Amino acid sequence: MIVDTESRLIAAHGGELVDRTGDRPDDLEALEAVTLTSRELSDLDMLASGALSPLEGFMGSEDYESVLEAMRLAGGLPWALPVCLSVDEAPAGERVALTDAAGKPYAVLEVEQVFDYDKEREAQQSFRTTDEAHPGVARLYEQKPRYLSGRVTVFERAQPTFPELALDPAETRAAFAERGWRRVVGFQTRNPIHRAHEYLTKVALETVDGLLIHPLVGDTKSDDVPAQTRVDCYRVLLDGYYPSDRVLLSAFPAAMRYAGPREAVWHAICRKNYGCSHFIVGRDHAGVGDYYGTYDAQLIFDEFEPHELDIEPMFFEHSFWCRTCGSMASAKTCPHPADEHVFLSGTKVREILASGELPPEEFSRPEVAEVLIEAYRRA
């Protein structure tokens, strides 16, 4: 592990944590404005905070091509997904203002390049499919036709959905260092945490100093559980079942891309920037529908030499309560037949909760189930 000498935590991807925040320029009013989508705005804010280190702006064609073809930046550093800004045409000036849909400016971009791209090719390389029923592909196909690249300086940070959970990479790193953690495992989630995921976060925590529960709170599909409900679930779970001095809950501001395997690598690299030395990769990480094989998001890590990513992926099986073992287990650790396992499909869980009943305690902590039942009642 390459270590940041001051904090003794893992070093940021590429060595230095990037900071692209800066002052609002005096000539802002005179600059041409480029409107960003909500996904591009969340990427912009992650560029500002260094969550996307070593990137300092939206990608140029060399990095873009190299990422699509080889999962590396042009300089050779591993990188799994494009971080690009789409535009209709090349701006006239050397700098542009980046705004949201309402016209509010957030940043200035120093124009480096405007280039054409092939949406179907990007879809195939990033998402392994060109099917427009895939939510990530659909969003890509809606983009403007060209990419604008350049370094950004962000003077207005995005309004966080959960201000009390908004920690930049420098802040999570400071929190880890303050607690004396050196080895920290990151857990990405966009779902409420039931017993199965509680189990694997705790198995991981047994081997390291601390756990960062890092739910994604940027854009998700409309049928995912709303972020507010999920955050309420995490709070009651942490209050009741995790030691507070070993766990940090913070929000990951990224938008979901649903790129499966490549997004798993991308998620790991981002968490490295937040100071995590380890990262949990479950089955079908960042997947959607049946576009990806169950273990594709784990196998993709074999395409890198272990030292290249530096952050250590921790692979997990699906876990469950086994009545014979009398404990949580997985196919790796339990020899008993499936009818000994307490397993509920997502559909079944939703049915139980919607009817106002508690799922079995072996499946879900009652406090978490209560939050979900209440959310169903309100909906």
Q: Which residues bind Zn ion (CB under 5 A)?
A: 322, 324-325, 334, 336
CA distance 112 to 85: 12
Least distance in angstroms from the C-beta of 38 to Zn ion: 45
Nearer of residues 228 and 324 to Zn ion, judged by Cβ: 324
Contact 3, 10 (CB under 8 A): yes
Helices (H), the chain: 38-49, 61-70, 119-127, 135-142, 169-178, 195-205, 227-241, 261-273, 296-299, 306-309, 346-354, 366-378
Least Å distance between CB 200 and Zn ion? 16
Q: Which is nearer to Zn ion, 6 or 339 (CB)?
A: 339
Which lies closer to Zn ion via its Cβ, residue 281 or residue 322? Answer: 322
Any catalytic annotation for residue 190?
A: yes
> DSSP letter at 76?
S
Judged by beta carbon, residue 114 or residue 325, the one nearer Zn ion is 325
Closest CA to 82 of 135, 39, 129: 39
Q: Shortest approach of Zn ion to residue 330 CB, angstroms? A: 10
Is 191 one of the annotated active-site residues of the chain? yes
Contact predicate 216/274, CB 8 Å = no
Of the listed 20, 190, 230, 271, which one is catalytic?
190
Q: What b/e string do you get for 70-108 counting C-beta neighbours within 10 Å, with b at 16 or more?
A: ebbbbeebbbbbbbbbbbeeebeeebbbbbbeeeebbbb
DSSP-assigned states of every residue in 108-152: EEEEEEEEE--HHHHHHHHHS---TTSHHHHHHHHS-SEEEEEEE
Half-sphere exposure of 319 (CA within 13 A, CB side): 22
- State the pairing for strand pair 278-281/312-315: parallel
- With tokens 């981002």, the residue in question is 270
Nearer to Zn ion, 336 or 377 (CB): 336
Q: Which of 24, 72, 191, 283 is catalytic?
A: 191
Least separation in angstroms between CB 329 and Zn ion:
5
**Minimum distance of Zn ion from residue 342's CB (angstroms):** 11
Please identify every residue annotated as catalytic: 190-191
